[in-house]
A and B are shown apart, each in its own frame.
Chain A
């Protein structure tokens, strides 16, 4: 019996398996977009064929960070902005585990912005969901990196002088090999995109528009969306980087004007994931590192045998 028999187990997975038996009282407000993310994730995981026990959901802090309290898989609720580094190492340590990281726009694009850029650059094989509600939810409504210019809040009483961050463009330029935007009000599309993202070998970033009815009633998260992959008006090829870039620019301007385009903007299925690159240059074992600690027969090398001669 392998130490990790949950990994790669072939069986039908029922979405209810992801629902905790004793469901904790959700701390999300009624009408919060976060419910939509939870729902589509519960829908997508069984479609990808992943069981709760081979899934690790790593989250940051914020309303969004509570996601893994309501999804019964392995979970790690980390600290504000740090879900990605924790998730990266988890994947390197045991690549068989499905690693999904999630957090808010403050978490991912603000305090964790540096990690976001580097995780995308390295193209770690994981899915990263950013709940973009254009506001800090849990700390009660401060301006976030995605809040529109001029946005007024208690900490920016004169209206923000900052241009909002452009998450899709940032992700693409940083090196993510899968970039998409979806919305909680569009559960079918969200579920489809989540599934594609998890099946993708490499860093899949999803900017997930979520509404925050409590602090951000004006946000565009409620307007109708156009799916670029399905609309005939956009004869769109997501493997074309230049097209993706162009459309990202457009939608990131328009998000604050009315029309919102969603869908898979970019995917590069050729680019090897970080883990594959690392294996190629001999910096990562073929067998999952974590297995070794459960293998009683594994021969652990000693420093004495390996290095002592250099010091004699």
Chain B
């Protein structure tokens, strides 16, 4: 463990300000020229319960949370209640210290609040410290904060201690606090931070641990963003000005960002009675010619199945977001999983006509959000963005220029009144909404209030004029036209470079993945190559229509491939085998579904033992499923 990266974990109780403190800390490191990446772990509780955030910082780009960490700031859970013997939520008091030790690297630092935490409650604490050569700082952060201001400012005291040990200048943090805090609470906070800093500098040996902050420099200005921010901004830049939703973690983040900003942008946000209504409202607004979206997470998205089918049949453009979390049912509300893939691909009745995009990184989330709107409105089809709790909340630095784009409010093949009057879209004096099919299956549309464009949209099968019609020939013609859009979209997406390849082109082996595991897989691939295994990775960001040719080409170029995904039933591998109809015998799976995303080391280990050495399963954190032909 050395100076080339800092992975700082701040642990405490939910509601103790862990999230905001870590966000400021990450931003300060970013501003100082480092690349940062955060990982957030929290329980489904409001107050109390073990939570932590990791901030990884390095001079080189970072793509994942990394493996383990090297600096623990254990704050103590101020909301912990003395549990009864065997109570559900366990021994809260000791958790910030006790629960975090397994992943702390050798030579790492422990700072704990001796005002709230008692190491004698942590089994074998002394022995473990010695064995791992950890450097322990027991500081009464609680009293320190109380004496100078308020007890809740313990986190600020902890940051002061961190700076003293790592050499981060206090001024960097102070500057951010000035932006974020009102004068009244700013002063005591600054004072507390300085006191803690001085105390450590004077009374402790801060040169002992080999943990310091690397120095770095960005060649262009960076911003700190989460996947949810990027999705919301992508939507705004594509001219989305209508959102309807119902809260559900982690979709709530996008819903909140949009709701807070849309009114100022002249848009409309509606929190409605349920998710069926939410999707139906988005359809209603879109039918009127407005760019609209809705979304949810697993359970809420289940309710949207029926309106989703309505959008398909009426060819109403619609963007729906599915922020996955661990299921089935309400599962683990605050933990990531990629197990709603099949749910999103196949929900709703009939043959589906939809687009499903899965961004892998924060930067891509912005892109994918814009692309989802473009496809929905160009092709008059629902398009869905699927991502997970990991991507939704993780913060990372992205060049600011990435977001510096022109807005696009184009609503696709929608006629003006002049066009409605002149063009041959009418028959029997009436506008034929579902006729005039070009190669790509898209028909011109009108919107209510326009002269000369009246038509009926219906979820029943209908003829070109929009009337309910069950004539077999009409049915086949309409279905074929709707299905034809998918080929056109596939061709469009092929040109988009939504597939990200990483590693040596002529590698022997491959790793296939999708969504938020992209960065972790890429880091694993780099390490495998450094260790002499020749591997490359392909991240697939378009799941429907599936990029059959590109994936086939990738698989044909390697001997064997491992599919990495966060679910128990290998859904992405299943999709790939279904779409390709071949390659089953060369695809094996590495799965994880314990509520935590992969760490790069797990992928390296899984790949090495299972693929290279044909060995035994790794630990019980991950699961290996051999190739179908084995």
By a beta-carbon cutoff of 8 Å, the part of chain A in contact with chain B is 1, 3-7, 21-22, 24, 52-56, 58, 61, 66, 68-69, 72-79, 82, 84-90, 92-94, 96-97, 114-115, 117-118, 278, 282-285, 287, 289-290, 292-294, 298, 300-304, 306-308, 311-312
Contacts and interface: CB of A to CB of B under 8 A. Distances in A.
A92 B400 contact: no
A92 B467 contact: no
Contact of B266 (A79, A82, A88, A289): A289
Contacts, number: 230
Contacts of B314: 76
A86 B283 contact: yes
A77 B459 contact: yes
A86 B225 contact: no
26 contacts: A3-B417, A7-B449, A21-B429, A21-B430, A68-B456, A69-B458, A74-B455, A74-B456, A75-B455, A75-B456, A79-B310, A82-B277, A85-B272, A89-B242, A89-B282, A89-B284, A90-B285, A93-B285, A94-B447, A97-B448, A283-B269, A292-B409, A293-B411, A300-B409, A302-B406, A311-B400
A181 B71 CA distance: 71
A311 B405 contact: no
- What are the 10 A-B residue pairs with the smallest beta carbon separation, nearest first? A89-B284, A4-B449, A303-B233, A311-B223, A85-B280, A77-B458, A300-B407, A89-B281, A86-B284, A93-B288
Nearest to A282: B263
A123 B111 CA distance: 56
B404 A293 contact: no
Contact of B273 (A79, A92, A114, A301): A114
Contacts of A298: 409
A290 B288 contact: yes
Given A289-B290, A302-B405, A308-B223, A88 B457 contact: no
A3 B419 CA distance: 11
B417 A1 contact: yes
A79 B17 CA distance: 45
Contact of A82 (B224, B229, B276, B407): B276
B449 A301 contact: no
A96 B285 CA distance: 13
Given A7-B449, A86-B283, 19 more contacts: A53-B449, A54-B448, A69-B468, A77-B456, A78-B310, A86-B287, A88-B281, A89-B242, A89-B270, A92-B268, A93-B288, A93-B289, A278-B268, A285-B267, A289-B242, A293-B289, A301-B236, A303-B237, A308-B223
A80 to B, nearest CB: 8
B456 A293 contact: no
A304 B449 contact: no
A79 to B, nearest CB: 5
A56 to B, nearest CB: 4
Contact of A72 (B223, B407, B454): B454
A76 B411 CA distance: 19
A199 B18 CA distance: 55
Contacts of B403: 303-304, 308
Given A21-B429, A311-B224, A88 B284 contact: yes
Contacts of B466: 75
B239 interface: yes
A89 B457 contact: no
B2 interface: no
Interface of B: 31, 221-225, 229, 232-234, 236-237, 239, 241-242, 244, 261, 263-270, 272-274, 276-278, 280-285, 287-292, 306-307, 309-310, 314, 400, 403-409, 411, 414, 416-418, 428-430, 447-460, 466-468
A97 B452 contact: no
A76 to B, nearest CB: 5
Contacts of B291: 293
B310 A89 contact: no
A304 B452 CA distance: 39
A311 B454 contact: no
Contacts of B456: 68-69, 74-77
Contact of A3 (B284, B450, B457): B450
Q: Which of A66, A77, A306 has the most CB of B within 10 A?
A: A77
Given A53-B449, A307-B261, A284 B287 contact: no
A118 B273 contact: yes
Contacts of A74: 448-449, 453-456
Contacts of B276: 82, 85
Contacts of B309: 79
A200 B530 CA distance: 74
Contacts of A72: 454
Nearest to B230: A303
Nearest to A80: B306
A82 B406 contact: no
Given A303-B233, A304-B404, A308-B403, A75 B457 contact: yes
Contacts of B239: 293, 300
B459 A5 contact: no
B285 A92 contact: yes
A88 B242 CA distance: 12
Nearest to B469: A24
Given A7-B449, A307-B233, A85 B223 contact: no
A285 B266 CA distance: 5
Contacts of A73: 454
Given A76-B457, A82-B307, A283 B263 contact: yes
B131 to A, nearest CB: 42
Contacts of A300: 239, 407-409
Nearest to A284: B268
Given A68-B456, A89-B285, A93-B284, A56 B448 contact: yes
Contacts of A303: 232-234, 236-237, 403
Given A89-B282, A89-B285, A311-B224, A54 B411 contact: no
Contact of B452 (A53, A55, A76, A114): A53
